[in-house]
Structure 1
Amino acid sequence: MFIYQRELKKNVKSLIIWSIILSGLILMTLSVYPQFTKDQQMLNDLLSAYPDSFKEAFGMNRLDIGTLLGFYGMQIHFMTTLLGSIYTVMLASNIIVKEENEKTIEFLLSKPISRFRVIGEKLLAVFTNVLLLNTVIVATSFIGFQFADEQVSLNTFNIIIISTLLLHMTFGAVAFLLSAVMKKSRTVTAVSLGIVFISYLFSVISGISEELEVLKYVSLFKYVDAADLITENAIQPLYIVIMLAIILLGSLLTFVVYQKKDIA
């Protein structure tokens, strides 16, 4: 498992930096919740100032931001899903192709290890980092909840966290496959980030326009929409199946592609 251990050590700095950034944002946002809910009239005035299309796009018309989970869903969930996805694709998109770009692949494959093992340990390293980041998100969220004198539904919160983890792993599997298919680190990272941002854009557009609502089926962010998760207290089974299928297919295709890849 020396490849797995090497990848964990090489990526620990970026994991710490992203964990600190997300933790800071979560704690800072949750710290203002008590003051935010003190003046209900001010809260109502603030919400009424937003255009209806804006409220529909971000689920504000279905979330009660006067409750802790509603506030979490609107203010924090989009940060953990978007920023976490960016971290994941930056990690996964570079983890394979960097060996060719840095000219270390010859040394790596000269060892008595198979390509299958190389991919397996690198994939495990990606998912381990994603799991660790999500663990930080959970721990920091529980710390932030202490700012408010209010209990949250653990069942609903677990659904939010599981959906966030599934989203990160789905983007990670796609970026991991691209890292095996493409040959330039910058190109792979740019394409992977483009997929994340386009997916997020489709999510917003599908919430604004009924005519473009069909875009929600090609936007992974819509699969983990906070308003749906909290109001329905569940993840749509179809969305779970799609994300798991992408994770499985992306991982399997990476093994297949890398076995046949002509490494210069």
Structure 2
Amino acid sequence: MIFQREFKRGRKSLLIWSVILGGLIVGLLSMFPQFAEQQESLSKMMEAYPESMQKAFGLDELSLGTLMGFYGIEVHMMTTLLGSIYAAMLASNILAKEENEKTIEFLLSKPITRSQIVAQKLGVVIVNILIFNSVAAAAGLIGFQFAKDHDVPYETFALLIIAAILLHFTFAAISFMLSSVMKKTRNTLSASIALVIAAYFLNMISGISEDLDVLKYFSPFTYADASSIIKEDAINILYLVMMAAVILFSILAAFMVYQKKDISV
């Protein structure tokens, strides 16, 4: 009951975000052939950029003139950022809104436990994120049709999609935990969005200087970085473990907090 209700309430937002991201992906990949034709001039132009800027955007390891390089710099970066914002927005409201909208007492009067409430709402978050990323993956496959003269390394593409999904789950899990703690959706949403933006800039700043390299471990965006995935053709095991640990800890914390939470309206 809760799952169906929440999914219906969020399907319009899911549709809007998915259509926008899918359209942007296809639009960007449709421009790749032009970049590929001008690869030499692009390389010279990129060399003129400050070294710190090249590192911040991955231009030191990837090339806009190659299909995966273009995808990593333009598409993957946009997918991870927009997807993380969507995941944070979705998860940050889903528990807290029951108290914020004064509907929690009615919900708890039904023959359902708090654990079932948390589980079903978490299920909605998981399903929505998977649908969102499925649309992104489909849009990528459609966009690749514009690059008919270039081979598509589908295994690398799959790794980038998996990394994006795990990143979105990471931010969603943290936001879900915050939603179990806070009562006001405005506060939860603000904190979740701020977390995503701060993590994004930490990732960019960490690439500017070796002295700031340690900052990358505090940003989940580093764990889904396109340049390292494309270069190694694998997702770093340490990053996988760190994302899994954050996801599991946040979800378990959400269940535990919500079980003991003093819920009043």
TM-score bracket for the superposition, by shorter chain length: over 0.9
Which has the larger displacement, 78-87 or 44-53? 44-53
Task: Please give the alpha-carbon distance, in whole angstroms, between the structure 2 residues aligned to 1:146 and 1:73.
Answer: 17
Report what 1:190 is aligned to: 190
Q: Name the CA distance, whole Å, in 2 between partners of 1:48 and 1:73.
A: 18
How many corresponding residue pairs? 263
Matched residue of 1:93: which SS? Answer: helix
Matches within 5 A, 1:216-227: 216-227=216-227
For residues 65 and 32 of structure 1, what CA distance do their matches in structure 2 show?
A: 11
In the TM superposition, residue 209 of structure 1 has moved relative to its aligned partner by 1.3
Q: CA offset at residue 66 of structure 1?
A: 1.4
**Counterparts of 1:174 and 1:230, CA distance in 2:** 27
Q: Quote the offset at 1:263 in angstroms.
A: 0.6
For 1:89, the equivalent position in structure 2 comes to 88
> Offset of 1:67 from its aligned partner?
1.1
- How far the C-alpha of 1:43 sits from its partner, in A, is 1.6
Bigger drift between 57-66 and 101-110 goes to 57-66
1:142 maps to 141
Match of 1:122 in 2: 121
Q: CA deviation at 1:24?
A: 1.3
Distance 1:192 1:115 in 2: 23
How far off its partner does 1:38 sit?
1.2
What corresponds to 1:102 in structure 2? 101
Verify the 8 A CA contact 2:38 2:65 in the aligned structure 1. Answer: no
* Structure 1 residue ranges, 4+ long, deviating more than 6 angstroms after superposition: none
Asked if structure 1 preserves the Cα contact closer than 8 Å seen for 2:114 and 2:258, the reply is yes
- One-letter identity of the residue aligned with 2:31: V
Q: What is the one-letter code of the residue matched to 1:35?
A: Q
Amino-acid identity (%): 54
Give the letter for the 2:59 counterpart: M
Tell me the residue number matched to 1:171.
Answer: 171
Instruction: With the length of structure 2 as denominator, give the TM-score of the two structures.
Output: 0.97
After superposition, the C-alpha distances for 1:102-161 in whole angstroms (9 at most, x for unaligned) are: 111111110000000000000010010000000000000000000112121111111101
Q: In structure 1, what is the equivalent of residue 6 of structure 2?
A: 7
Tell me, in whole angstroms, the C-alpha distance in 2 between the residues paired with 1:57 and 1:125.
Answer: 34
Q: Which position in structure 1 is the counterpart of 2:155?
A: 155
Shift of 1:42: 2.5
CA distance in 1, matches of 2:231, 2:212: 22
1:40 aligns with 2:39: yes
Further displaced range: 224-233 or 56-65:
56-65
Q: 1:78 is matched with which residue?
A: 77
* 1:250 Cα deviation after fit: 0.7
Letter in 1 for 2:189: T
- Whole-Å Cα distance in 2 between the matches of residues 40 and 174 of structure 1? 40
**Residue 26 of structure 2 aligns to which amino acid in structure 1?**
L
Matched with 1:240 is 240
Aligned residue in 2 for 1:18: 17
Root mean square deviation, CA, Å: 0.9
Q: Determine the structure 2 residue equivalent to 1:29.
A: 28
Q: Distance in 1 between matches of 2:226 and 2:243?
A: 17
- Give the drift of 1:238: 0.8
Q: Distance in 2 between matches of 1:171 and 1:33?
A: 30
Unaligned runs of 5+ in 1: none
Write the distance in 1 (CA, Å) between the matches of 2:224 and 2:161: 10
Further displaced range: 59-68 or 206-215: 59-68
User: 2:37 touches 2:65 (CA, 8 Å); kept in 1?
Assistant: no
- Aligned-pair CA distance for 1:48: 2.4
Q: For 1:44 and 1:199, locate their aligned partners in 2 and report how far apart those are by CA, in whole Å.
A: 29
Q: In structure 1, how many angstroms separate the alpha carbons of the residues matched to 2:130 and 2:43? A: 37
